[in-house]
Structure 1
């Protein structure tokens, strides 16, 4: 008789993740219904406080095919509880978008690359009720691991990200030429009007709290008085400024943006000398069709270590453009190859998105892991908890050092008015 065994840290597994659910997962993964499930072992798939909207479980299934020895397969289960705190998830249709991305879009992009490159893990099973749940291949079992969000990525990691992102964006441009309607459902990204519409909703409240804490911090820095005044003016029209930073613009280059391109949404594989050799992206729920400046600025201002951000940004953009152009030329589709100057223009026009990423997302990312164990969206509904967490996040030395470099940059770029 098959049974499910849980590790001690799995406190409350959703009831729908039962034996029949995992039998269906295995049938799809093996492409046969003849496997007999012998045992199922479940443990948490991420550290507490590393995922805000979902619960991640790592599952090991032991099974046997007729006449074969016992085998095992590893899976990642991503389940989004139906909570009031994540109502914006429904507003942005992230479950549907992510399902379509994994089932339809990514396989077609990989075919355009002649299967020489993969962009994401395989999706084996998904259900919407009673909780939105997806089951993926376990990239960790294949040797992929996450880099350090606390330290930020060095130049070698960043160059690999730029190469893969150039390929991802280029193939999406080609696919849009071949299938002009495929990305019509990707108008909603992280800063869409639908997601920000509720002024008292968690998403807008979270970003507003970060904006106010940013102003409080900058007000304590001698020499930043002018910038503090501009931040205060920016926050007076906060929602409109956020929406405008992502809104489509005339005559822009358009690609499929990952939409949440930060270090924990990338998994790296290393060689024997611990040098990154391969990269796979995960979590496409915020993907949006728009300027490549969205992904590029978001990545730059959330995931680079400060020395790379300060000194290597132009070189990284050259790596990105070179791979984008090379991939488009190799695909031989009727898509104009953007010049490097056009890419620079796209990045400059979306500096406001980089500013949002720098104060709205980076403070959480740069937190020490010892401070994130109680981080989740339900907790942030409590005003006192949110206030205490904001003070903690904005007390980071790495955050202060980064902002003292980036804020003058954003002022020069005209982001602060």
Structure 2
């Protein structure tokens, strides 16, 4: 592996007297000064997280009456490589109540990425608004349906964290997200939730717990589509317009990513004929995505998280280390499509099962049984359509369309943390670097392709 280039620094101090230098040397010296100023600005920005302006006006209206926001302290929440599509801040807010008692309120502030290049890559004017709508419209609608059909309170969907408030700008008439756009969420770490190591992935016990929760997340929108089509249209569908998540990268960058993946497949030891078949299928997938071609509207059409990997899930454990709580985070890419996409993407990017090649069917059957059970509790009118045979047919139809998403994300999921620079220094070229990944990436890449081959999905 090649080592990444590093900025060379010296402690040598230079005083410049332009009268003693030729024009050429003065020009070179000016370039040094400009570079120095650029890096000074970069390090200053990284030392201080972005300001959350007018936090008092944003937060106080959603707190208990008489609560005052006194101030806040903020720090970067995530390490380089753990989040690319936004800047995540840990925010400790000082508040006082009507009795003038003070306390701390731990929050997370989600803001636009520090790197301007990622503003376009992640299409923040679409993704930021989409995520805000999940909390403001979609979650309440899902909960209302469950309560209406008589779900016990303990079984109400609970994979969403509390959202305090959102805004796209300080200007209430502005619809374009700017540097003052923010989503204020509860800080789940203070409630005992943790993010697992993305390079280790989830055990079978953890994976089954996640699939059980995911099945309810998928089941509720299906029930809404059948039972309350008007509400489904107004509170869900209009916020989940399909968009090309790779459009911000540009055609040349996507082409390069495909070529890098092809090279990686060869390095991983995949036989040449299979490499060519996979590459051809990836190209079909990306052209389908560019045309915004949705999956067919079958009984398995639902809301997708659409980015369900380790870093977008937080788990809470009991004293015996068994999972008892799960939260999904980062709904920037959520949309409507076949629920099979979420299931396969999760299993093939984020599980650490040494026997995954032989246990895929077990995971799929486990998920389906819980989906079927939840649909029955939601009293959908066409439950007889949901057989394991119809689900298997859906899996076989959709899996070839998800390979592009899975393979492109494996480099992100399994990237070496030490190879990823701070947020302001990140760009899309980073993901093509030979130094970004190592053996575990190539092993997983080989496994995924072999599963696709074994299942005749490629």
CA RMSD, 1 decimal: 2.8
CA distance in 2, matches of 1:375, 1:206: 20
- CA change 1:230–1:339 in 2 (3 A) is same
Give the TM-score normalised by the residue count of structure 1: 0.84
Output one character per residue of 1:35-94: Cα deviation in whole Å (capped at 9) or x when no partner. Answer: 233341211111123111111111111222122532221111000148343225447721
Residue 99 of structure 1 pairs with residue 132 of structure 2 = yes
| Pairs aligned (count) | 393
Per the alignment, residue 91 of structure 2 pairs with 59
- CA change 1:242–1:36 in 2 (3 A) is closer
Output one character per residue of 1:332-376: Cα deviation in whole Å (capped at 9) or x when no partner. Answer: 243535112222222222212442233200121112322234467
Residue 24 of structure 1 pairs with residue 58 of structure 2 = yes
Residue 363 of structure 1 pairs with residue 411 of structure 2 = yes
Residue 135 of structure 1 deviates from its aligned partner by 0.4
Residue 407 of structure 1 pairs with residue 449 of structure 2 = yes
Residue 11 of structure 1 pairs with residue 54 of structure 2 = no
Task: State the secondary structure of the residue aligned to 1:284.
Answer: coil
Output one character per residue of 1:201-255: Cα deviation in whole Å (capped at 9) or x when no partner. Answer: 4265554333212211333466602112224444665631545897322535211
Contact 1:170 1:324 in 2 (8 A): yes
Task: State the secondary structure of the residue aligned to 1:360.
Answer: helix
Per the alignment, residue 70 of structure 1 pairs with 102
Residue 311 of structure 1 deviates from its aligned partner by 3.5
Residue 96 of structure 1 deviates from its aligned partner by 2.1
Residue 155 of structure 1 deviates from its aligned partner by 0.3
Aligned counterpart in structure 1 of residue 167 of structure 2, from 108, 112, 127 = 127
Of residues 221-230 and 234-243 in structure 1, the stretch that sits farther from structure 2 once superposed is: 234-243
Contact 1:99 1:126 in 2 (8 A): yes
Per the alignment, residue 229 of structure 1 pairs with 276
Aligned counterpart in structure 1 of residue 199 of structure 2, from 150, 154, 157 = 150
Residue 158 of structure 1 deviates from its aligned partner by 0.4
Give the TM-score normalised by the residue count of structure 2: 0.77
- CA change 1:403–1:264 in 2 (3 A) is same
Per the alignment, residue 247 of structure 1 pairs with 294
**Structure 2: segments with no counterpart, 5+ residues:** 1-43, 170-177
- CA change 1:142–1:223 in 2 (3 A) is closer
CA distance in 2, matches of 1:309, 1:244: 33
Aligned counterpart in structure 1 of residue 185 of structure 2, from 132, 136, 142 = 136
Task: State the secondary structure of the residue aligned to 2:238.
Answer: coil
Per the alignment, residue 325 of structure 1 pairs with 372
CA distance in 2, matches of 1:47, 1:413: 37
Residue 156 of structure 1 deviates from its aligned partner by 0.7
Per the alignment, residue 185 of structure 1 pairs with 238
Per the alignment, residue 4 of structure 1 pairs with none
- CA change 1:286–1:274 in 2 (3 A) is same
CA distance in 2, matches of 1:140, 1:210: 34
Contact 2:245 2:333 in 1 (8 A): no
Output one character per residue of 1:178-206: Cα deviation in whole Å (capped at 9) or x when no partner. Answer: 134143235545xx4x4445xxx426555
Per the alignment, residue 276 of structure 1 pairs with 323
Per the alignment, residue 346 of structure 1 pairs with 394
Of residues 298-307 and 220-229 in structure 1, the stretch that sits farther from structure 2 once superposed is: 220-229
**Structure 1: segments with no counterpart, 5+ residues:** 1-7
Residue 37 of structure 1 pairs with residue 79 of structure 2 = no
CA distance in 2, matches of 1:356, 1:268: 28
Contact 1:211 1:359 in 2 (8 A): no
Contact 2:282 2:403 in 1 (8 A): no
Contact 2:112 2:124 in 1 (8 A): no
Q: Answer with 1 or 2: which has the greater Rg.
A: 2
Contact 2:268 2:443 in 1 (8 A): no
Aligned counterpart in structure 1 of residue 213 of structure 2, from 141, 155, 164 = 164
Contact 2:270 2:446 in 1 (8 A): no
Task: State the secondary structure of the residue aligned to 2:161.
Answer: coil
CA distance in 2, matches of 1:235, 1:323: 31
CA distance in 1, matches of 2:435, 2:293: 28
- CA change 1:333–1:351 in 2 (3 A) is closer
